[in-house]
Amino acid sequence: MKKILFAATFALFASTQAFAIFGIGVHYIMNTGSLDADKGEFPLPVSPDADPIIQDILQGSKITVNQKSASGLQGLGFKAWIDLDFLPVDIEGTLNIAATQYKTSLTIPEVKTDENGIPKIEYTTINLSYSPDPPYNIIPGGSVDPLFGIVNGDLSVMYPFKDIPLIRPYIGAGFSYFASIPIANYSFAKKMLNKNQDLLDALIDTNSENPEAAEKIKKSLVSTLQNESYTTGMGGHIIAGFRIKPPIIPLAIYANGKYYIGGNTNSQFSQGFVLEAGGGFAL
């Protein structure tokens, strides 16, 4: 009797297609793309109201911006799909959010006095890692490097291979909308430092009463970076993947590989292969 029951169950599963009219899911995302490094220097803007001795010492001094490269974006995605078996195609919509950390530092000349009271130039390096304000300070005592990330929404149309039991492979293509976070690179830092002349003056002035000027510059840059507009644009993608949907059980797992074409992401970022792997409810 047990053998007959087992055989009947196996036959049911083996003869059932991986078919669900509707499904929603959550998945892990990995993007193999890379963020290029950027480095540059520009003349230190010295206020005409600064001490003439300081103006003379800092004549020709430069600020250096060094933004490191990064790769391997990771994140979270959400998916909804429709499998209408009487149609030749499946349709799915996806929202992906992936990010990676990178490092940016500023090297700024600062006027100091030696043991004889003679002014001289020393260089202060400011790393743009920072401690978020509540409620975002989820790492106790820790700091956070700047983030580069991409948010994209995809609409995909896929051709499914329906004759395989339990698993539903498919290939297809679709449209994508991209939004990428601005980068704390050379051009961004130059623009923002020129807007913080008072903080720069406090940093380079030997008589300054503001010893926290470097920290204030860092926070100002990071705050402005968070408030900058995203780079947005349209593009396309190619998709190949599969879903596994057992009969009766209202659950499914899936995995997709995507390659994106076009899209107005930041010019320093090179798109790579994207993997989505997750599962969810399937009716």
Q: Predicted confidence band at 11 (pLDDT cuts at 50, 70, 90)?
A: very low
Going by the DSSP 8-state scheme, the letter that residue 94 receives in this structure is E
* Distance (Å, whole) CA 189 – CA 123: 17
pLDDT digits (tens, 9 = 90+) for 171-186: 999 999 999 888 889 8
Largest CA distance in the chain: 101
Cβ-based neighbour number of residue 268 at 10 Å: 18
Residue 113 lies in a domain: yes
Asked if residue 12 is part of any domain, the answer here is no
Residue 44 lies inside a defined structural domain of this protein? yes
Measured CA to CA, the distance from residue 235 to residue 245 in angstroms comes to 30
Residues 202, 148, 134, 216: what is their CA dihedral angle, to the nearest 10 degrees? 0
- CATH code of 109's domain: 2.40.160.20
Alpha helices in the chain, H assignment, sequence order: 2-14, 52-57, 186-193, 197-204, 213-227
Residue 156 lies inside a defined structural domain of this protein: yes
Domain membership flag for residue 15: no
Please confirm whether the linkage preceding 250 is cis (ω < 30° from 0).
no
Is 39 within a domain?
A: yes
Q: Encode pLDDT of 255-279 as tens digits.
A: 999 999 987 678 889 888 999 999 9
177 is in which domain, residue-wise? 20-282
Lowest mean pLDDT among 47-51, 81-85, 152-156: 47-51
Q: Which residue type is seen at 100?
A: T
d(CA 233, CA 17): 38
In a domain, 3, yes or no: no
CA-angle at 227, arms to 29 and 152, nearest 5°: 25
pLDDT at 85: 76
The answer as to whether 9 is a domain residue is no
pLDDT in tens, 22-53: 899 999 999 999 999 999 998 877 767 767 77
- Based on the structure, what is the number of domains in the chain? 1
- The answer on pLDDT for 230 being more than 90 is no
β-pair type (119-127, 231-244): unpaired
Omega cis (within 30) before 119: no
What is the β-pairing status of strands 273-282 and 62-67? unpaired
Among all chains, which residue has been given the structure tokens 């698993």?
167
Whole-angstrom Cα distance, residue 217 to residue 201?
11
Q: Calculate the average pLDDT of the chain.
A: 81
